[in-house]
């Protein structure tokens, strides 16, 4: 990736640049899946956190769980989840918009006073398309997309995942490198200036093998 490529990953469709990473350890909880799928999702969080150098915790002292992953069949199920409308006050109009758009996934981020990510809600409507995706592939994709505040167009034309020769699905090396660079403790947890892409690029170059 060159600096322009990096900048594009955090430049939104309205032209604004916004980078944010987690400012606290991840404490995920998963709803609506069997135990075997639960272990796959949590394993994906553990793997991506290990790769990026970020941490996980059993609980978040403020929120309990700060990453909530919901698997369901229909958007109409969300308003029935106890207390979810308290965490997402505009839940009903949001569900109406997602139903109208026939969306099968959606992520909502919450931020702390410094602009770092402090919570993420991941909604996955298991329609025919998502149901056809292997659990490990779906989990890895969702975890990667929840680790940073990527642009809404970052993965529109190309997935953050790739395949190796044996058919296994892995995180693309360029995205893996960008994740490691993004979690360099020297860098701020939030940036709104496109020049931040240059700082990420410098970390990427330093991370390359000699």
Report the sign of the C-alpha dihedral through residues 34, 39, 44, 46, in that order.
positive
**With 0-12 CB in 10 A as exposed, 13-18 as middle and 19+ as buried, what is 98?**
middle
pLDDT digits (tens, 9 = 90+) for 50-74: 999 999 999 999 999 999 999 999 9
pTM, to two decimals: 0.92
Query: Which tens digit of pLDDT belongs to each residue from 162-173?
Result: 988 777 889 999
Residues pairing with 106 in the sheet: 123
pLDDT over 90 percentage in the chain: 83
| pLDDT over 90 at 149, yes or no | yes
Backbone dihedral angles phi then psi of residue 22, each to the nearest 5 degrees? -70, 140
Place of tokens 């609506």: 32
Instruction: Write out the two tokens for 29.
Output: 């909880």
pLDDT of residue 206: 77
Instruction: Give how far Cα 149 sits from Cα of 26, 81, 145, 196, Å.
Output: 15, 26, 8, 14
- Asked whether the beta carbons of 49 and 55 are under 8 A apart, the reply is yes
Q: Which long-range contacts (CB under 8 A, 24 or more apart) does 85-93 make?
A: 87/121, 88/121
Q: Which of 136, 122, 123 is nearest to 40 (CA)?
A: 136
Mean of pLDDT values over 111-117: 97
Q: What gap in Å lies between CA 139 and CA 33, rounded to an integer?
A: 12
């Amino acid at each position: 990736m060159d600096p322009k490529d990096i900048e594009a990953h955090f430049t939104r469709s309205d032209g604004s640049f916004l980078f944010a990473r987690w400012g606290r350890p991840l404490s995920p909880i998963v709803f609506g899946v069997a135990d075997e799928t639960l272990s796959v999702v949590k394993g994906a969080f553990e793997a991506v956190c290990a790769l990026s150098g970020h941490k996980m915790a059993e609980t978040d002292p403020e929120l309990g769980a700060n990453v909530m992953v919901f698997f369901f069949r229909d958007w109409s199920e969300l308003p029935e989840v106890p207390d979810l409308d308290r965490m997402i006050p505009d839940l009903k109009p949001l569900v109406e918009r997602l139903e109208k758009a026939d969306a099968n996934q959606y992520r909502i981020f919450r931020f702390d006073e410094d602009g770092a990510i402090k919570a993420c809600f991941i909604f996955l409507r298991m329609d025919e398309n998502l149901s056809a995706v292997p659990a490990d592939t779906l989990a890895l994709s969702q975890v990667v997309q929840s680790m940073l505040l990527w642009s809404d167009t970052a993965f529109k034309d190309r997935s953050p995942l790739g395949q190796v020769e044996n058919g296994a699905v892995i995180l693309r090396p360029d995205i893996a490198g960008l994740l490691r660079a993004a979690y360099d403790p020297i860098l701020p947890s939030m940036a709104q200036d496109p020049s931040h892409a240059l700082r990420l690029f410098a970390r990427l170059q330093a991370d390359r093998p000699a």
